Amino acid sequence: MQSPIFGPAYSAKSTNLAANRLINLYQQIVEAQKSASGKAIGALEGCPGLDLVQTFGTGPVRAMKAVNLSGVGDNLYLVSGQSLYQTNTSFTVAAPLGTLSTTNDGPVTIVANDVGIAVAAGFNLYEWTPAGGFHQISTPFAPASSAYGLPITLAELDGFIVANQPGSNFWYQSNLEDAATWDALNFAEASGDPDNIRALAQIHREFVLLKEYETEFWYNAGTAGFSFARIDGAYLEVGICAVGSRCRLGDSLVWLAQNQEGEGFVVELDGHKINRISTQALEAEWGGYSAIADATAYTYRQQGHEFYVLNFPSGDTTWVYDRSASRMLGEPCWHQRARFEPLTGTLHRHIGNTAALFAHKIVVGDYQTGALYAFNLSTLLDNGAQRKWVRSWRALAKPVYQPVTFSELCIYMQTGVGIDPAADPLVALRYSDDGGHTWSNERKLKVGTLGQTAKRVRTTRLGQTRENSGLDRIFELSSTDVFPVSITGAEVEAG
């Protein structure tokens, strides 16, 4: 019978309810379902590896933005540590454009107008232009607001750059195409409710004011002085929990949210409404971290998938929402990405901290160093480092409350392709009969050497569930060997 190996990550607070882990694998779905074009609904495939592109400074890489400025051309601007760098499509390393005076290691915002770029780091603003170089900008509000603890954020529309005043519901507008000049009278108050603005964003030619517990929408009304006006009737009673989590994802905006009732759920903007896209299982997981307000995120698109990558530094984990798969399956599809530590066998948050599309690459910045990498689905290592993938799932689609003998398990997966001729890769299988609390010893199963494309990955004599030791069989498959993984299904002989 079919064993339901395909599916998203979903591990409930009690693994007796759900214990489906999906680490460094994502769901690849056959889009032509009605014409039965694929062997199965989809496959679990390996997440992209990392190719080293270049290293800038000491790191971490805190923000990146690709900008094509008049007279300068197409360049990538990035903040590594406290330095602002500019690089071309050859990723040439040059001296920093400037040094940020802030020692805050929190989120950094980079925006651009037609003249140059503006950077918000901590409680300071900076500008770089080809004509004027790099300099710090005097904020139009008192720097004493830095005591509030959250950073200044920026957004841009129609040549105007806007900044929020931390610890208040005021936000300010720069002069047109001039990030260095701010009229102290050109400000507005987001006063739908008295809570403070935490972050700014721009989408669909509207500014989105993400407050502590509410969200407001403003548009360019073309008025003298402060140019923007609130959109009447467009108001959400949901705010933002983690300033660094806001990201544009395709035609939408996604962030880690909170409201007056609680925090730690992810929402996606749909016009002037929101859809919750996290799951109760994930929200329970995040609720166990020591902090979630330090979470940061980035997005990217690769081979038809739109990914929202959410890092939790305090939880040392990375969770990824696949919007494309979610829309095709009609349920939130999340998976976990991780860096593997072979000496201890532990998994940590993924290396990526921020990303940008540049020079036809998905460029990813390292959260520890100044390294830039490219996501590559054909690369099976993370900059030469060993990786590990894991899939755990319930053996049977429906629970059976009586002993079951498992005679055979067959994993349908790609074999004999993309493997080093000298390699004989293995996968590790173990199982639990008590809902994932205790596990059997691992069995090593051969995946097949190069050319063994019809290899069957199977094992027999998997024992019997018993009333006194559990009636809840869960399988877990994993590997640290180097081969391209693509799992299309599983069958189990049980009775």
Q: Is 304 exposed, middle or buried (0-12, 13-18, 19+ CB in 10 A)?
A: exposed
My answer on whether 119 and 210 are in the same domain is: yes
My answer on whether 116 and 14 are in the same domain is: no
Read off the tokens for 390. 């894991």
Q: Is residue 427 part of a domain?
A: yes
What's 144's DSSP letter?
G
Q: Is residue 40 part of a domain?
A: no
Q: Report how many domains make up the chain.
A: 2
Q: Is residue 349 part of a domain?
A: no
Q: What range defines the domain where residue 420 resides?
A: 10-18+399-494
Last residue of a domain, one of 191, 221, 237: 237
My answer on whether 14 and 109 are in the same domain is: no
Quickly list DSSP for 326-392: HHHHTS--EEEE-EEETTTTEEE--SEEEEEEETTEEEEEESSSSEEEEEETT--SBTTB---EEEE
Read off the tokens for 282. 């994930």
Question: Does residue 169 contact residue 191 with C-beta atoms inside 8 Å?
Answer: yes
A 10 A CB-CB count for 105 gives 14
Beta strands 197-203 and 178-189, pairing class = unpaired
pLDDT tens, N- to C-terminus, the chain (495 residues): 999 999 999 999 899 888 999 999 999 999 876 666 677 889 999 999 999 999 999 999 999 999 999 889 999 999 999 999 999 999 999 999 999 987 656 789 999 999 999 999 988 999 999 999 999 999 888 764 455 568 899 999 999 999 999 989 999 999 999 999 999 999 999 988 889 999 999 999 999 999 999 999 999 999 999 999 999 999 999 999 999 999 999 999 999 999 999 999 999 999 999 999 999 999 999 999 999 999 999 999 999 999 999 999 999 999 999 999 999 999 999 999 999 999 999 999 999 999 999 999 999 999 999 999 999 999 999 999 999 999 999 999 998 999 999 999 999 999 999 999 999 999 999 999 999 999 999 999 999 999 999 999 999 999 999 998 889 999 999 999 999 999 999 999 998
Q: Is residue 72 part of a domain?
A: no
Q: Is residue 169 part of a domain?
A: yes
Last residue of a domain, one of 183, 208, 237: 237
My answer on whether 104 and 201 are in the same domain is: yes
Q: Is residue 414 part of a domain?
A: yes
My answer on whether 104 and 215 are in the same domain is: yes
Last residue of a domain, one of 237, 255, 272: 237
Q: Is residue 331 part of a domain?
A: no
Q: What is the CATH number of the domain that holds 199?
A: 2.120.10.80
pTM: 0.96
| Closest to 86 (Cα-Cα) out of 137, 133, 120 | 133
| Closest to 260 (Cα-Cα) out of 205, 310, 193, 203 | 193
Q: Is residue 37 part of a domain?
A: no
